[in-house]
Amino acid sequence: MANAATALTEPRFDQVEGLLTYLVNTGIRPVSYNYEPPPGVPMRSGRYEDRRMAVANGRLDPARYSLDEHGFQFRRDHSAVKDFYDEAEIERVYFPEVERLLKHVTGAEKIVTFDHTLRVGDGAKRKGLREPVRRVHNDYTPKSGPQRIRDLLDPAEAEERLKHRFAIVNVWRPIRGPIEEAPLAVCDARSVAPEDLIETDLLYPGRTGEIYSVAFNPAHRWIYFPEMERDEVLFLKVYDSVTDGRARFAPHTAFEDPTGPRAPIPRESIETRSLVLFQT
């Protein structure tokens, strides 16, 4: 189904310099609302700062990156989906494609794709669609990762799965390409220190989730794959239950590519989230 990780075009540069938005660690736990907050309460608490960082061109050697070593992986992959804005087609066609692909890439016993998000650069003009996230973050923590197992599986299976290794992997794909606006940058998991990761409450009606915001560290190593096309995907490992040295978290963010056109085509992308369940 998928070809080896190769670039469509020859890389034109080694790296770019981008402004990445980090949380300033003030010692106060940040809170972010996923619904309209009470009057006078901001949608998001915390103080953020832009840091100028080198972002390496992953197309120079795309096959070198792996989920277990770096926390992300690039791959060519064709999708049979005709309309990514058709919810029924996403569940009927795309979710099974993602699950087959993840099973092949990870060797996992079972994949459960449970969610997807469409992001559009002019998302504010399209009802129900989200804009790219322009803050460095990771989607899960050691608390919220296991909670997703409990939320999504029946109790007996959940308790059994929690005894074995499991991961949560996002699959990010352009809906149309090339991506000119707000490409996705991902941080090499090996360059992230535990103290860089800051627990953040994510408030929904009726429940509270938890993500990691990320504080600046000059040691962070950032990579992106410029001008990604519809037949290219980026895997992001946002949680892994093992603590044996394999990558567990891959912080990521959208950013402005200084090599892009002055009037870029608005980004259109889809990301899925999947439980990756292993036997051991």
Per residue in 168-196, pLDDT (tens digit) is 999 999 999 899 999 999 999 999 999 99
pLDDT at 159: 97
pTM, 2 dp: 0.93
The mean of the pLDDT values for the chain is 93
Q: Band of the pLDDT at 146, cuts 50, 70, 90?
A: very high
- Is the CB of residue 205 less than 8 Å from the CB of residue 35? yes
pLDDT at 7 over 50: no
Average pLDDT for residues 95-121, to the nearest whole number? 97
Q: Which two tokens stand for residue 102?
A: 């993840």
pLDDT recorded at residue 11: 66
Kindly tell me if the per-residue pLDDT of 139 is higher than 60.
Answer: yes
Amino acid at 166: F
Mean pLDDT, rounded, for 204-233: 96
The pLDDT score that the predictor gives to residue 206 is 86
Q: What is the pLDDT of residue 1?
A: 39
Predicted local distance difference test score (pLDDT) of residue 12? 72
**In the predicted structure, residue 124 carries a pLDDT above the cut 60:** no
The rounded distance, in Å, linking the Cα atoms of 51 and 20 is: 5
Q: How far apart are CA 77 and CA 276, in angstroms?
A: 19
Of the two residues 207 and 99, the one the predictor is more confident about is 99
| Interval 189-210 mean pLDDT | 95
Position of tokens 């296991």? 146
**Spacing of C-alpha 227 from chain mean position:** 17
Q: Which amino acid is at 191?
A: S
Express as a percent the part of the chain with pLDDT over 70.
94
Q: How confident is the model over 3-11, as a mean pLDDT?
A: 48
pLDDT grade for 127, boundaries at 50, 70 and 90: low
The pLDDT of residue 269: 97
Amino acid 3: pLDDT = 40
The pair phi, psi for residue 56, each rounded to 5°, is -75, 150
Token pair recorded at residue 112: 């459960």
Residue 214 has pLDDT above 70, yes or no: yes
Mean pLDDT to the nearest integer, 72-84: 97
**Coil/strand/helix, residue 189:** helix
For the chain, give the longest Cα–Cα distance: 54
Would you state the pLDDT for residue 2? Answer: 38
Return the closest-CA partner of residue 205 out of 91, 12, 16, 37: 37
The answer, yes or no, to whether residue 36 has pLDDT greater than 70, is: yes
pLDDT surpasses 70 at 126: no
Which whole number is the average pLDDT over 44-72?
97
- Is 50 exceeded by the pLDDT of residue 87? yes
Residues 6+ apart with CB under 8 A from 156: none
CA 74 and chain centroid, separation = 12
User: Which H or E element spans position 24?
Assistant: strand 15-24
Which helix (H) or strand (E) segment holds residue 97: the answer is: helix 95-106
